[in-house]
Amino acid sequence: MEFSWPDDDARFRQALRDFLDETLPEDWEEISRHGPGSDAQASFSRDFCARLADRGWLTQSWPAAYGGADATPWRHAILSEEMWRCGEPRGSQYMNVNWIGPTIMKYGSEAQKREHLPRISRGDVLWCQGFSEPEAGSDLVSLRTLALRDGDDYVVNGSKIWTSYVNGAEWCFLLVRTDPESTRHKGITVLLAPMDAPGVEVREVPAVVGERYFHELFFRDARFPASTRLGPEGEGWSVVSYALAYERVGAMRYARAGLTLDALAAAAAERGRLDDPALQEKLGAARAAVEASRLLSYRVIDLRARGSEPTADTNIARVAGTMCENAVSDLALELFGPDGLEYGTFAESYFRLAMTAGVAVGTTEINLNLIASRFLDLPRE
Amino acid sequence: MDFEPNEEQRAIRLAVETLLTQHAGPARAIELERDGGYDHALAAALTEADFLGASLSQETGFLEAALVVEAVAKAGGVVSAAAETLVAPAVVGRSLDGPVAIGSLGEEVPIRFGGHAHTLLVDAGEEVQVVTVEPGWREPVRSNFMTPLGRIRVPEGAGDSLGDGSGATLRRWWRLAIALECLGALEGALDVTVEYVKRRRQFGRAIGSFQAIQHRLAQCAVQVEATRWLCYEAAADGAPEEASAIAAAYATDTAHHVFRETHQLTGAMGYTREHDLHVYSMRLEALRVELGGTAAHRRAITQSRWAS
């Protein structure tokens, strides 16, 4: 066991921080407060990711064969930490790099790789994710959006919901059912669907968590060429399982929580409240939750770095991540009191960002189910 | 960054676990508890193998010493391994005559191993006093918390000071020691409870197949795993002030949570002397009130990180 960073990783982190200092505009904090789905952040991310790509950092973790630099999972974790620390200026493009690109590398045709990977690695394309449906949330395999083969096309009918990052998205990583007689895991297929196809309609679901945060996607006889299919027909569940294993700890959200907590402590000190023993206890508890989340996320990176198959450690890290975000955001509102209720203030922005932690990317309950069966080996019914 | 134990760490873990299988375990702890005893036989075996005292940390490192402290706690060992193998070597720089107890100046409260200690480390604020305890100063305290307790009355002027600043050093290592002992006991408590709910059948099925039970144990597992890495990182880094306070705060908070959950889920059986849970659970409660408890550890985090 070894818990310190090698010098070259430490230098990389410093170079990244210097780059962020130079690159992020003065009003970045203002832009970031409207949430990752906002117009401002969506357009900002294209410019920012292109610059990150120029430095060779955007897809450094990808294999050299796909334009990456074969950087270690640890390098990728450092990148993610530093991005989250300052409010994820990559916007939705972290998804492209973390799991959409790698899943295309594993399952994509040569044509799909040629079409998508260079754009992702240049940082000038936005994707969204079409997974959940009104009747298929945690029980994702009950999805019903139907894609029927008609000549060289799939004709898609159905709807997706809770889709984020639709703003400006050109492509959707779309889960459909290609066999209408199938149930559960069988008969599911992944399509790399162009969002500008006729028959695709987007509607925002207004929500308290931020501008353009949730959307509903409607597909009415939308036609997608069969060449948009990722992996074999009916084998989409394997594809999505692969993607999800990458997705769940791709985002080092504790880094944002940690920085927010430091700012809360500074605010408490300004208000002369840092001597209050009750507040000291709450700050200390939140700090411990941040560190717990950091180390459990590192454990997942460590397993990935040694080439292990995904384990329940991923789910453990997710649950700890939610505990961390809840602890910090509870404290944010408590510390600022009624001032923190005003939209766009520091406390409110973090509270809003963090409030979906236990639901996003799989609910806490689903993670606990998986920990029970895979980590504790508890019997199924 | 590397979270897997290296060859030496694996060998140490295996060796101490093998020894503990022979000399310790919950049944042994239950047997000793009847007369509030200290496990001198286990202490002798651990000393013989260099697992008790300063040589392990001096020859390999504090992380390896930490692994031994964890293993002893996981085996329910009734020896002052944390004080002897981790705290004393780090703070005093040498082995001390065991059993070793740790307490705070001016607090004549029951402390762990207080009824048996040959040496007492006293947190006197700025400094540490190392006291050779005379038998007449010790008073064993009856307790149900599965760890021998006692009060020690130290006469004025007894003990050698380690000098100004040593007090803070002691508190850092003491916090880490508490966290590591929690970790071992947490693993023990969770393991026996998971075994219990797999075996125990009601309503025609193992109760461990009910989601209401699975979620509670999975939540415990998350916190135990977090405790593990907080402890190991703090040990590897030499018990930094903030990291040790974090390990202790998180571990003792988890200790109380796991105490409640494991007793709830093992029902009446978990309270009995014939089930192993109490060996771990009761100790967890003793650990979580030491050195000011969770609240004090949390305040220490804030003072270390943000007070300037």
Q: How far apart are CA A280 and CA A264, in angstroms?
A: 11
pLDDT (tens digit per residue) in B168-216: 999 999 999 999 999 999 999 999 999 999 999 999 999 999 999 999 9
Say yes or no: B9 contacts chain A, CB-CB below 8 A: yes
Q: Which CATH number fits domain B167-306: 3.90.870.10, 1.20.1730.10, 3.40.50.2300, 1.20.140.10?
A: 1.20.140.10
Q: How far apart are CA B169 and CA B242, in angstroms?
A: 12
Per domain, the residue ranges of chain B are 167-306
Say yes or no: A5 contacts chain B, CB-CB below 8 A: yes
Q: Which of B3, B197, B303 sits opposite A378 (nearest CB)?
A: B197
Res A244: pLDDT: 80
Q: How confident is the model at residue B308 (pLDDT cuts 50, 70, 90)?
A: low
pLDDT (tens digit per residue) in A95-148: 999 899 999 999 999 999 999 999 999 998 999 999 999 999 999 999 999 999
Res A87: pLDDT: 86
Using the beta-carbon criterion (under 8 Å), do A378 and B245 form an inter-chain contact?
no
Q: How confident is the model at residue A40 (pLDDT cuts 50, 70, 90)?
A: confident
Average pLDDT over residues B87-111: 95
Using the beta-carbon criterion (under 8 Å), do B229 and A316 form an inter-chain contact?
no
pLDDT score of A247 more than 70:
no
Of the listed ranges A22-36, A219-233, B239-253, B279-293, the one predicted with least confidence: A22-36
Q: How far apart are CA B62 and CA B49, in angstroms?
A: 17
Using the beta-carbon criterion (under 8 Å), do A1 and B221 form an inter-chain contact?
no
CB pairs under 8 A between A and B: 162
Taking CA atoms, A229 is separated from A90, A97, A104, A150, in Å, by 27, 20, 11, 14
Q: Which of B6, B9, B208 sits opposite A378 (nearest CB)?
A: B208
pLDDT score of A81 more than 80:
yes
Taking CA atoms, A336 is separated from A210, A321, B26, in Å, by 20, 23, 49
Say yes or no: B212 contacts chain A, CB-CB below 8 A: no
Percentage of residues in chain A with pLDDT exceeding 70?
A: 99
* Residue B225 to chain A, least CA–CA distance (Å): 8
As given in the structure block, the two tokens for residue A70 are 């074969």
Q: How far apart are CA B308 and CA A258, in angstroms?
A: 18
pLDDT score of A342 more than 90:
yes
Phi, psi of A162 (to 5 degrees): 70, 20
Using the beta-carbon criterion (under 8 Å), do A379 and B208 form an inter-chain contact?
yes
Q: How far apart are CA A267 and CA A255, in angstroms?
A: 19
Average pLDDT over residues B68-82: 98
Give B-chain residues touching A292 at CB under 8 angstroms. 223, 226-227, 229-230, 250
Phi, psi of A215 (to 5 degrees): -140, 160
Instruction: For chain A, state the CA radius of gyration.
Output: 21
DSSP 3-state of A202: strand
Taking CA atoms, B173 is separated from A183, A301, B46, B117, in Å, by 57, 29, 21, 19
Say yes or no: A264 contacts chain B, CB-CB below 8 A: no
Half-sphere exposure of A89 (CA within 13 A, CB side): 27
Using the beta-carbon criterion (under 8 Å), do B236 and A2 form an inter-chain contact?
yes
Res B290: pLDDT: 97
Q: What is the mean pLDDT of chain A?
A: 93
pLDDT (tens digit per residue) in A192-236: 999 999 999 999 999 999 888 899 999 999 999 999 999 999 999
Half-sphere exposure of A346 (CA within 13 A, CB side): 19
Give A-chain residues touching B253 at CB under 8 angstroms. 285, 288
As given in the structure block, the two tokens for residue B194 are 């998971």
Percentage of residues in chain B with pLDDT exceeding 90?
A: 96
Say yes or no: A295 contacts chain B, CB-CB below 8 A: yes
pLDDT score of A25 more than 70:
yes
Q: What is the mean pLDDT of chain B?
A: 97
CB-CB contact of B217 with A372 (8 Å): yes
pLDDT score of A250 more than 60:
yes
Res A366: pLDDT: 95
Predicted TM-score (pTM) of this structure: 0.96
Instruction: For chain B, state the CA radius of gyration.
Output: 19
Res A252: pLDDT: 86
Residues 6+ away with beta carbon under 8 Å from A368: A315, A319, B214, B215, B218, B219
CB-CB contact of B186 with A335 (8 Å): no
Q: How far apart are CA A105 and CA A52, in angstroms?
A: 21
Res A249: pLDDT: 56
* DSSP-H helix ranges across chain B: 7-23, 26-33, 40-48, 55-59, 62-74, 81, 88-91, 166-199, 211-236, 241-265, 277-288, 293-305
Q: How many CB atoms lie within 10 A of CB A134?
A: 12
pLDDT (tens digit per residue) in A152-162: 999 999 999 99
Using the beta-carbon criterion (under 8 Å), do B250 and A301 form an inter-chain contact?
no
Give me the interface pTM, i.e. the ipTM: 0.97
DSSP B57-109: HHHT-HHHHHHHHHHHHHTT--S-HIIIIIIHHHHTSS--PSSEEEEETT---
